[in-house]
Chains A and B, each alone.
Chain A
Amino acid sequence: MRNWLADPTVQNWLTAIGGGAIVLQFTPGLPLWLRFVLGAIALICGVICFPRIRTKIQNVLSLFIGFLKNFRVFVIFLVGIIATVVIVLPKPKLPQDVLKARHAVVEIQTSMSEGSVRSWWAASDRSYKPEKTFFVKEEYQLVVVENLDLESQVVRTYIMDGRKIASDVRQREPYPFARKYYRSDGCIFATEFFDKTGLYHHLDYDKNCTGTVETFDLSSPVLLPPVPLLTYR
């Protein structure tokens, strides 16, 4: 058995498989069980080939250092271009809350795929603030669509320029509650609240801060058309 494992061909393969398993860990959106499997593969291969891996890492480092030394002009040029492009290119400039919501989507998807969505609720309850304020810049056509799903949870979808950028799921707050939305200039944008009877009121303001109230009965599920397109993981 030991001789078989010490065979250089086998060790080369194990090193390649272990390395591949580590590289695959960088794949976004992998389910947790698959990450565990990949981690286990990398660990097993690593344990078997450890002295060999150490030598191989040294070889890679020496090659890399040599490459940087000999071709530094090109490397500097390439890194410079990438850095400049990243700096110059248009930034997402998303409101911080939306960015947070985007991360929340990944968390939710991960938790839901493992059937532990409840634990996510428990964890997020602490950070939940009913008076949370969204700053919305006017140049973005941010639309927030709320939908009540079958478990009476509020599913909030953020759409910017026709593109779904994030969605957010939270438990419906205890009644009554109210929430206000402000633009970046401080002007009130909208207000929403549930009254004691569970009716949902949405109040939109125009430029003169004159509000228009719409009232919805959310006791039955309201299914809005799904927002198409991809969500970046």
Chain B
Amino acid sequence: MDRCKSPEILVFIILFVSLNFLMLPILIVPGSPMSMCVFLVLLSMAIAFDLSELFAAALVDEHDLPKLDCLSEYPSLAALYLVCDDLVLVALSRLRKLAYPRSDVFILDDSIDPTTKRLLDDTGFRIIRRQNRIGYKAGSLNNWLWLYGNHYKYFLVLDSDSIIPEGFAESIVKYAEHPANGRVAIFNSLSECWNTQIPFPRFLSLLTPLQNWIRTRLDNRCHSIFSTGHNNLHRSEAIIEVGGFDENFIAEDIATTLRLVRVGYTSRLVNLVAYEAEPEHIFSYVRRIVRWAKQTIQIHRANWQGIPLSIKFRMFRLTWMYISFFLYPLWAILAAWGTSSSLSDVHVLIAAVAHGEISLLSVLTPFAIIITVPLIFLVPKIPLLVRFNIPISNYLGSCLLSLSIAFYSMLHVCFAQIASATNTTLTFDITDKRSRPTSFLLIICHHWQLIPFWLFLAVGFWQNPISLFFSSLWVLVLVLAPLIICLFHGTKLSNIYHTCPELTSRSAGGSCREKLAR
């Protein structure tokens, strides 16, 4: 039985139904085609998904798990640092500051690159290597689990860019040792970005405080949340009981959560912050989002029987987030080709507007919606931006960057989802963490598929100047996306091996935020 106490689903239903039955009858004029109605319903769903989390979080208080004040004895703990040709030296050096009495660090290395192997060998940590990469990350974790899992009560999973602050291990174990959390198998932490000295990740992670604020209020009200896959503590006994990590799926974290939930365990959030690096360039970012899109589609092949509704709702929202990428090219095609007009129409329209004949504009309501939609997303977040001292100008910049990336990567993400739906087996594409020069030309060449798409749209808009006139704002971002992305990279060559700022253990919203140089 689903013991969900989260208002998330209820708020979503209220918002979605309200948007449909209050807003759409005003916006849709008689004679609008069916495709316009369906498009607007889907758009209202996107708005409802985006805002329901925010509104639901505003309705409830913070909800943290109970934890011990101090540990009478330290249970054994292993920190697993996973590398696969993506070593981040800053994160590796931080492993020495684990500061937990009964702990061992293991490096699970699937690298092929000899330099990476040599660097890891020099660290003095215990290195676990395999003959092959079967099962990818899950396979590597299982390999360790069957070798050493029984010797440790808990293990931390860290990606190659993960940085846990001093005292983090002890704090998270205090949660795990509390008797009330006996059936919690995975303790997930809040994430913040540590490479914010570089413009691209800084803008990408601008809303992290807001997301963490929402998570601390809503996540623990659900039956269980999905494992974040890194920066989290696992109860070895529980993971072994369900047969280890699920190697059949790229999203081993979600698949393993499903296994755990099915036997009565849960995955919860604790109010502790750990750090990770955001991709430093667009190529890495697109690679990551493509992988996430693929794995989100693939995970629907898992067994979802007996999973509570609140978990399914979160999966449905996650799926929608990626499927909605199809709406971008679809919108562009409909805007360019869905209607027809001529240059004389533009002249008459301008003349009509100049003479104050507003009645003619009533039929242009759908286009007015497209222009006003961003405001619906932006305005409700303003109070929280003020609360977290996020300048509105930075926020607008972040939104522009997100939109540009969405337009830039839409074809890749759509193809990735089609590939995932048509193939049963997928490969785990590791996020590229190496520095790489970025230029306008490179960005264009990397996604050359956009050029024929632009040409296709250009032909449509050539015979439809009115639609171009009213879609100009979006078309401008669509066409200028590579340039906008290039500008957000800044002039400085990114380098993930920069020294990261001093990080100490804290909860979300604590006083150490200033220590992260923004």
Contacts and interface: CB of A to CB of B under 8 A. Distances in A.
Given A82-B38, A230-B466, A91 B340 contact: no
Contacts of B297: 63
Contacts of B340: 29, 109, 230-231, 233
A228 B349 contact: yes
A12 B359 CA distance: 51
B28 A89 contact: yes
B30 interface: yes
Contact of B34 (A77, A86, A93): A86
B503 interface: no
B316 A74 contact: yes
Nearest to A77: B13
A91 B360 contact: no
Interface string B388-418: 0000000000000000000000000001001
Interface in A56-97: 56-57, 59-60, 62-63, 66-67, 70-71, 73-74, 77-78, 81-82, 84-86, 88-94
A60 B422 contact: yes
B89 interface: no
Interface string A141-164: 000000000000000000011110
B337 interface: yes
A90 B28 contact: yes
A229 B365 CA distance: 12
B309 interface: yes
B422 A162 contact: no
Contact of B21 (A16, A56, A88): A88
Contacts of B25: 88-90
B41 A229 contact: no
B345 interface: yes
A8 B7 CA distance: 47
Contacts of A60: 421-422
B196 to A, nearest CB: 36
Interface in B26-58: 28-34, 37-38, 41, 45
A19 interface: yes
A230 B341 contact: yes
A84 B415 CA distance: 32
B418 A19 contact: yes
A115 B304 CA distance: 56
Given A30-B337, A71-B316, A89-B28, A232 B33 contact: yes
A57 B423 CA distance: 9
A78 B20 CA distance: 11
A93 B300 CA distance: 42
Contacts of B349: 228-229
Contacts of B37: 82, 85-86, 89
Contacts of A92: 30-32
A27 interface: yes
Contact of B422 (A59, A73, A74): A59
B24 A85 contact: yes
Contacts of B316: 71, 74
A73 B309 contact: yes
Contacts of A89: 24-25, 28, 37
Contacts of B32: 92, 232
A216 B232 CA distance: 84
Nearest to B36: A232
Contacts of A27: 333-334, 337
A100 B28 CA distance: 22
Nearest to A81: B20
Contacts of A109: 340
Given A27-B337, A70-B312, A160-B31, A63 B421 contact: yes
A92 B33 CA distance: 9
B401 to A, nearest CB: 27
Interface string B310-347: 00110110000000000000000110011111101110
20 contacts: A15-B422, A28-B334, A59-B423, A73-B309, A74-B316, A81-B41, A86-B38, A89-B24, A93-B30, A161-B362, A162-B360, A163-B29, A163-B31, A228-B345, A229-B363, A229-B466, A230-B466, A231-B339, A231-B340, A231-B341
Given A74-B313, A165-B31, 19 more contacts: A15-B422, A16-B415, A56-B423, A66-B301, A71-B316, A81-B41, A82-B38, A90-B29, A94-B31, A161-B362, A162-B360, A162-B363, A163-B363, A226-B342, A226-B348, A227-B348, A228-B466, A229-B341, A232-B31
Please name the 5 residue pairs, one residue from A and one from B, whose CB atoms are nearest each other, closest first.
A56-B422, A70-B304, A228-B348, A230-B339, A92-B31
